[in-house]
Structure 1
Amino acid sequence: MTLCPLLLVLCAALTNAVHLCPLLGPSWPAPTRLPDDPTVQSALQNITTTIQDAIKAGNFSGNSLSLQIFDTSSSHSLLTLSHTAEAINTTIGVSEVDENTVFRIGSASKIFTMLLLLIEDGFNILQDPVAKYIPEIQAAVVDLRRNSTKRRDGINFTKWNEVTVGELASYLAGIARDYGILDLTEQAPLLESLGFPALPPAQIPPCGVPNPCSRKQFFNGLIRAHPIVPTSSTPIYSNAGFQILGYVLEAIAGKDFEKVLKKDLIKPLNLTHTFYNTPSTSLGVIPISQGEYWWNFNIGEEAPAGGIYSSAKDMSIFGRAILNSTLLPRSITRRWMKPHTHTSSLGFAVGAPWEILSFGDERPIDLYTKSGDIGTYSSALALDIDHGAGFIILGAGSNTHVSIALASDLVSASLLPALEQAAKNQAYERFAGRYALSTGNSSITITTDDGPALVVTSWFNNGTDMFPGYMALNGISNPSQLSIRLYPTGLESPGQISFRAVIPLALPAGIGPFTSSCITWVTVDSQRYGNVGIDEFVFNLDENGNAISVSPRVLRTVLPITSSSDTMMWGRWQENLRAGSMKR
């Protein structure tokens, strides 16, 4: 079944200019050689100046920061920037923050836990019921099955039989945030003065602070805790869920979490400043106000949710390994780097355990992030899969969450547009040009413009202009409304790279999401000729990755490049010069 007849009917009433409606994903192949790219280097300098100005203005007052920006094409960071607050304890900690200074990363630890699960057992485990791996939860499932009162009571008893590993990983299990740790009963006198009732001993968690809960205490309390929402209804943040995932990991690996962490991540990636247990304070930045307390604060077996210590350099190595699929098959990484649910903010989705933030107006650029907070320490890791880059910001001090969020916005505001421009510039250098047969009657010209993707500006096959044919096939009557744009598919072979042409349809102005949403994802490959899509293009590349020919696959032909981007740039320069002379 096809939507083409409906689309052709809508096109008959067109009144507006074409909305390009790019596909989700990159407009050009990921840029390389970023340390030498002038656009990126300018952005990095701007980020440095912006952060330093913010420090001088007091926006990070009382907070030490460690920032690294990294990419997949180099083992070195693109930018390293550190700031040391005045209020740190240099007697027991570092006197100056650098890329190797250790911080607590809080809930960014959850990414370690999730990656370890994928390394040990792949992606299919996410579909498994968690009771399969956790005897305590299996006992709760059996109890629920036998007790009809509990089974009918959806408010007071969690339906543990419904909870999957994947729901725990993406905060969709609907279970309590924590058990024991940071329970407000430790501040009972204050709570009672505020009007809360005094609690009998039986209702006070027997563990949490200062003594972490044992596994038995944790499950005894968590299974009695009220559910928050039904499974898979809305994301509800839960540290307890990742504590359970730590136990799942131990069950499938047959060894404790710390040993799996060392075997699968710390040793393979040579993370010399990453720790599961509390390291020496001499390695870390210790804020004067409560810094030593939070450095040593023991969350016990909730560590898979928020207990890891690391440095900016190690976190850059870790983030680069995720982007490069160093430890996973690329198919699993692609599956992992996807949303699992929305939030009430249109630009904020949730993965496992990603906090996915969308940037950009022309097309969404999704950052796969994870932030973390534990006392005086905060962190934010952000991965840009479209451009093969990312950044890590670690903070220690007072109100660090706000400082890390501000720094993350400042970095993103300069970095993302620069990466997009670098990708566009490099795509122009690699692919722009005129491709033609020696006979001269078959040719195609490809370039870039102010919009996304590569653009086809002229196209002839055996002397026939292909534009009218593509207009007819897509119900376009006005030549100015035809736009053929080539987007990378991510499919590659040795010496070849695949693109698909997207031809946006000129439709009436929409009045809501039904009539104004981009539907180009529906139209890709919708028209085939001899079982080949009319939108399929493959470039053949030289040893440097530059195009030497292009094949519009539906035409069963290969067109060698006859004039490259350099020639086209020279032609543009001459045209601009002539135009300027005429104006004068």
Structure 2
Amino acid sequence: MKVLPMSLALLASAGAQAAATYCPLLGPIFPAPTNLSTDPTLAAAFHNISSILEQATNNGTLSENSISLQIFDRSHAGPLLSFSYTARSINTTLGVSTVDQDTVFRVGSVSKLWTMVLFLAEEGLWPFQEPVARFVPELRQAAIEVEQDPRKRWNNIDYVRWGDVTIGELASHLAGIARDYGVLDLTEMASQMEQLGFPALPQSEVPPCGVPVPCNRAQFFNGLLRSHPIVPTSSTPVYSNAAFQILAYVLETMTGRTYEQLLQRDIIEPLGLNGTYYNTPNMSLGVIPDQLGEYYWNFDLGDEGPAGGIYSTSRDMAALGRAILNSSLFPPFITRRWMKPAAHTSSLDYAVGAPWEIVSFGDEPPLDIYSKSGDIGAYSSIIALSPDYDVGFTILAAGTDGHAKIALASDLISAALLPALKASAKNQAAQRFAGNYAATDGTNSSISITTDAGPGLLVTSWVNNGTDLIQSLMTLQHISDPSIFSIRLYPTGLESPGRISFRALMPPILSTAGHGPFTSSCITWVTLDAQIYGNIGIDEFFFSLDQSGNAASISPRVLRITLPKT
């Protein structure tokens, strides 16, 4: 238990100011904006994004790729922006001649996201700490053999300790196991490998499956169990397709249904999806690039399909993203637990979840975008979600160098969209909450709230029974200079019908501080709710809302009063 004396709490919040001026909590600094389809700030951003995409596809960096793209939010059934582009180099005899939101693409490793949604819809998060060997007999036997054979028990370099691997580690690429077995093994080009100086392999070391015939379950485990571990479990993320093939086997064991049946029952039917397939659909539904498009459209992953085999459209991908933002397929508490980092990577702005690829933008506070990208030959894709703003986008591409093109398009969209969302959230917060609130019983009690260049709702004055509470709070924190002190309200995410909760942060703004992470990190999360009076935090507030969702009154809960808006 961490108990901070007042002086230490102040030191913690004071030292945090080197990296940030205000030190908001991680998460939204304003409530998520609504009615985005009619918001003028977003309308300008969407126009800008469309212009950028038009330039990039008109003999620009994206001109060689067919693209279908949607930006969406949680509350609208249709897209906020839909953009499609048809490259010249497609086979219109086999596939579509014009790409739109209903054109089918392969989504590659974005299939892993669909697999995790199935897992959470069926089982929730309870199995994440369970050993996978409990549900997969091949792995259970391998774990027993490792423990019983002294030659294997102490040989951590050659043998995976399957008894230690959990379902959660598989889902978040922390199992430390091989990326694949059979699929894309370079023995497909053995003669070229030998010319490059690699040894000829005996037939016993050549995978008997993978391409063109995918491995069956027995072949997969026979090969995977002979694959060497990459790193110890839970040490560092190492990408693995094999992990999601195993997860699909686990899910089938738990439910007694096939993956395809679960996909149909748990996602396709509830969301009304018309363009999503587990097995290869007719090419007439999809876009087929001239260069290897037909080959990769028909490329059969077999049981590795849950890791990379799904086909979908931008309309259906947006529907899946919308369902995640809305927690339509499982409860919100599962969504919140799931949409968290599981491990860092060597990039400070990039973390890994299950199976999220989490990209952070900005620094006060960072805005985390939960994404999943995928590639399979001529097809590339991404879906990206912002839980802070309840907005997402998806891009499907077919052509050459798709991964780089998807990344570029994602950067272009983010650079225009995220600042607009931030501005819209601030504008709407000002309209809903800014103003003067005062008692109507004759007591001299009031509070005034506005927005400024900083984050959150700024308290500009606060009086209770004639006492200046801003001065009182400065006194409590031993601060004499009002220019370095502010009270800012941030949404907590806690809401009830007609009410929304905020907490106040009041770190002093310092002109000097250290330069290292111990002195410059923003740790106001430690000081939240640190000052309580009669078991209620001084920093606890809520607004009561009218039928339009605008503030009708504010309750600084420590004062046990409600102040109507004037």
TM-score range, shorter chain: over 0.9
- The change in CA–CA distance for 1:352 and 1:9 in structure 2 (over 3 A counts) is closer
Paired residues for 1:348-497 under 5 Å: 348-438=350-440, 439=442, 441-497=444-500
- RMSD between superposed Cα atoms in Å: 1.5
For residues 54 and 525 of structure 2, the distance between their equivalents in structure 1, rounded to whole angstroms, comes to 43
**1:549 counterpart = 2:525:** no
Paired residues for 1:133-172 under 5 Å: 133-172=135-174
Which residue of structure 1 aligns with residue 106 of structure 2? 104
Per the TM alignment, residue 398 of structure 1 is displaced from its structure 2 partner at its CA by 0.8
Q: Deviation string for 1:519-549 (max 9, x for gaps)?
A: 1111100000000000000100111111100
| Conserved 8 A contact 1:34-1:40 | yes
For residues 233 and 106 of structure 1, the distance between their equivalents in structure 2, rounded to whole angstroms, comes to 26
- The change in CA–CA distance for 1:502 and 1:213 in structure 2 (over 3 A counts) is same
| Conserved 8 A contact 1:11-1:506 | no
Paired residues for 1:181-200 under 5 Å: 181-200=183-202
| Conserved 8 A contact 1:17-1:481 | no
Q: Deviation string for 1:421-471 (max 9, x for gaps)?
A: 111111111111100012261000011001111110000000000011111
Per the TM alignment, residue 61 of structure 1 is displaced from its structure 2 partner at its CA by 3.1
Q: Deviation string for 1:262-315 (max 9, x for gaps)?
A: 000000001100000000000000001110000000010000000000000000
Which residue of structure 2 aligns with residue 302 of structure 1? 304
For residues 10 and 304 of structure 1, the distance between their equivalents in structure 2, rounded to whole angstroms, comes to 46
Matching residue within 262, 272, 281 for 2:264: 262
- Amino acid across the alignment from 2:211: V
- The change in CA–CA distance for 1:299 and 1:3 in structure 2 (over 3 A counts) is farther
- Amino acid across the alignment from 2:449: I
For residues 478 and 171 of structure 2, the distance between their equivalents in structure 1, rounded to whole angstroms, comes to 46
- Amino acid across the alignment from 1:543: Q
- Amino acid across the alignment from 1:485: R
Matching residue within 280, 287, 290 for 2:289: 287
Paired residues for 1:476-555 under 5 Å: 476-507=479-510, 508-555=512-559
| Conserved 8 A contact 1:376-1:400 | yes
For residues 122 and 12 of structure 2, the distance between their equivalents in structure 1, rounded to whole angstroms, comes to 51
Which residue of structure 1 aligns with residue 28 of structure 2? 26
Per the TM alignment, residue 14 of structure 1 is displaced from its structure 2 partner at its CA by 12
Per the TM alignment, residue 177 of structure 1 is displaced from its structure 2 partner at its CA by 0.2
Paired residues for 1:26-45 under 5 Å: 26-45=28-47
SS in 1 for 2:225: helix
Per the TM alignment, residue 11 of structure 1 is displaced from its structure 2 partner at its CA by 8.6
| Conserved 8 A contact 1:89-1:287 | yes
Q: Deviation string for 1:202-239 (max 9, x for gaps)?
A: 00111001110000000011011000000000000000
Per the TM alignment, residue 16 of structure 1 is displaced from its structure 2 partner at its CA by 8.1
Per the TM alignment, residue 253 of structure 1 is displaced from its structure 2 partner at its CA by 1.1
For residues 338 and 58 of structure 1, the distance between their equivalents in structure 2, rounded to whole angstroms, comes to 36
| Conserved 8 A contact 2:20-2:364 | no
Which residue of structure 2 aligns with residue 569 of structure 1? none
- Amino acid across the alignment from 2:564: P
SS in 1 for 2:388: coil
| Conserved 8 A contact 1:276-1:309 | yes
| Conserved 8 A contact 2:69-2:84 | yes
Per the TM alignment, residue 6 of structure 1 is displaced from its structure 2 partner at its CA by 2.2
Identity %: 61
Normalising by structure 1, we get a TM-score of 0.94
| Conserved 8 A contact 1:65-1:395 | yes
SS in 2 for 1:488: strand
Per the TM alignment, residue 58 of structure 1 is displaced from its structure 2 partner at its CA by 2.1
Say which is worse superposed, 9-18 or 498-507, in terms of deviation.
9-18
Paired residues for 1:208-357 under 5 Å: 208-357=210-359
Q: Deviation string for 1:328-351 (max 9, x for gaps)?
A: 100000000000000000000000
For residues 373 and 257 of structure 1, the distance between their equivalents in structure 2, rounded to whole angstroms, comes to 21
Q: Deviation string for 1:9-31 (max 9, x for gaps)?
A: 68999998982011100001111
| Conserved 8 A contact 1:82-1:97 | yes
| Conserved 8 A contact 2:345-2:352 | yes
For residues 423 and 188 of structure 1, the distance between their equivalents in structure 2, rounded to whole angstroms, comes to 57
Query: What runs of 5+ residues in structure 2 fail to find an aligned partner?
Result: none
Normalising by structure 2, we get a TM-score of 0.97
Which residue of structure 2 aligns with residue 577 of structure 1? none
- The change in CA–CA distance for 1:425 and 1:190 in structure 2 (over 3 A counts) is same
Q: Deviation string for 1:357-407 (max 9, x for gaps)?
A: 001233211100000000000001000100000000000011111111110
Per the TM alignment, residue 7 of structure 1 is displaced from its structure 2 partner at its CA by 4.2
For residues 215 and 28 of structure 1, the distance between their equivalents in structure 2, rounded to whole angstroms, comes to 50
For residues 75 and 116 of structure 2, the distance between their equivalents in structure 1, rounded to whole angstroms, comes to 24
| Conserved 8 A contact 1:11-1:476 | no
Q: How many residues align?
A: 562
| Conserved 8 A contact 1:205-1:221 | yes
- The change in CA–CA distance for 1:328 and 1:135 in structure 2 (over 3 A counts) is same
| Conserved 8 A contact 1:72-1:323 | yes
For residues 167 and 477 of structure 2, the distance between their equivalents in structure 1, rounded to whole angstroms, comes to 45
- Amino acid across the alignment from 1:489: T
